[in-house]
Amino acid sequence: MVVVGFARNAVMGVAEKVIEAVKGKAIRHFFLVRGCDGAKPGRSYYAEFVGKLPKDYVVLTLACGKFRFFDKDLGEINGIPRLLDIGQCNEAYSTVQIAQALSKAFNVGVNEQILSMILSWYEQKAVAILLTLLSLGIKNIK
């Protein structure tokens, strides 16, 4: 099952369950997979990456790279889908809001939480999004 929603609402709608699962160590890490994986056959970076993640990791998606693995059943963790979609690349602000909400919930800085970002873009807007993340002090961007 995939929770599809607009912006951060898909994730925020299950926030209490997510916080409980993290505190209970059922969820060990979040990976935000965002950007493009390219349309050429053979490009499968995101699909391979997501397919190799441990079963206690949750995948947040943003942008069109998700369409490489969006139809895969990644299962659930305590009733929470392991695949939570935030939307398209223009919803980058929502990911910052989610990171800040996780920081507040666990009383840690945004760079000390169990969230990593995997980014890849092929368009000019990527530069603006990356500069925004860097200006906000976001680290652990791969």
Question: Across residues 122-141, what is the average pLDDT?
Answer: 77
Mean pLDDT (whole number) for 6-29: 85
What are the C-alpha distances in Å from 87 to residues 5, 13, 22, 81?
A: 7, 14, 23, 16
| Whether residue 11 has pLDDT greater than 70 | yes
Average pLDDT, the chain: 82
Q: pTM of the full predicted structure?
A: 0.81
Q: What are the two backbone dihedrals, phi and then psi, of residue 60, each rounded to the nearest 5 degrees? A: -100, 135
> Where do the domains of the chain lie, and which CATH numbers do they carry?
3-135 (3.40.50.2030)
